Copies of this chain bind each other. A is one copy, B any other.
């Protein structure tokens, strides 16, 4: 009897699993914290967008790094989805997208500085009775931010005072090609060469390696994209490719301004609704945090066992456990 209870029935797995792809049970608020001119005593080193459950409680934290020349606000729908499952999602603005001149090293140092600020600063800005559990910390990033997340997790370029329990790369990109990577050049072409020491989930897009137009190179070129990041990670490592969507499709619908317009035309986009893509990517992130931060892999394994429960095609889909 005890054994049976410990293992959920198929129908309950199904319900839980599908639910990560839907909005979660927590009402979510967003908080903007400025790095300059803030009224708090210890402002963060970079301005932050924080998505947090409103309900009193203690929640795991996701540190999310935006892509090249993008605003953190363009990910608000995706991050709200994740937070609605009971997480505090924090997205710094690592540099001004109009002046995207920070080096790869600057970006990693900024992300580390923000992480180091969490311990002292988060309690100053979170709602009353909402607490961040910094023993349960996940790191994710999109595109160049995905590569920065890998580099930060390596621990050799910048040190953080608190540790990440899992790394999630969302269509990570290391540069133009193997020979023109954004420094630091972390891809080596060698299988399992990345000494991360934590589980890794790499979410890819099927259209990221395609061109948006004749004169436009792909946003996530073969050789420096999700396939290579997965190949160079050690187990435990997962790889899920959202077949019918593109490199920017996890962003909000029609992000505003000229930077938003540019984000809409630079990469080959999928034909389906971005809401489906955001729910799919958000669900994978939630399932991965549940598995490797909260140590409950039920949902993640259910997705691996039956990828059709995801709202759009995932192919390939691999979980390679240590």
Residues of A at under 8 Å CB distance from B?
96, 98-101, 103-104, 175-176, 180, 182, 212-217, 256-262, 265-266
**Least distance between A70 CB and chain B CB atoms (Å):** 13
- State whether A182 touches B261 (Cβ < 8 A): no
Select A99's contact among B176, B257, B259, beta carbons within 8 Å: B176
The answer for the CA separation of A258 and B219 in the assembled complex, in Å, is 12
7 residue pairs of the A-B complex, CB under 8 angstroms, read: A96-B217, A98-B217, A101-B103, A101-B104, A215-B259, A216-B259, A262-B265
- State whether A215 touches B258 (Cβ < 8 A): yes
**Least distance between A94 CB and chain B CB atoms (Å):** 13
Residues of chain B with a CB closer than 8 A to A265's CB? 258, 261-262
- State whether A216 touches B175 (Cβ < 8 A): no
Residues of chain B with a CB closer than 8 A to A104's CB? 101
Instruction: List 9 A-B pairs, minimum CB-CB distance, nearest first.
Output: A215-B257, A99-B176, A216-B258, A101-B182, A98-B217, A262-B262, A258-B265, A213-B258, A215-B256
- State whether B258 touches A98 (Cβ < 8 A): no
**Least distance between A69 CB and chain B CB atoms (Å):** 9
- State whether B96 touches A176 (Cβ < 8 A): yes
The answer for the CA separation of A100 and B182 in the assembled complex, in Å, is 10
Please name the residue on chain B nearest to A260 by beta carbon.
Answer: B215
The answer for the CA separation of A266 and B217 in the assembled complex, in Å, is 20
The answer for the CA separation of A304 and B264 in the assembled complex, in Å, is 45
Please name the residue on chain B nearest to A265 by beta carbon.
Answer: B258
The answer for the CA separation of A98 and B261 in the assembled complex, in Å, is 16
Residue among A180, A215, A260 facing the most chain B CB atoms (10 A cut-off): A215
The answer for the CA separation of A100 and B102 in the assembled complex, in Å, is 11
The answer for the CA separation of A99 and B173 in the assembled complex, in Å, is 11
- State whether A257 touches B175 (Cβ < 8 A): no
Residues of chain B with a CB closer than 8 A to A212's CB? 258
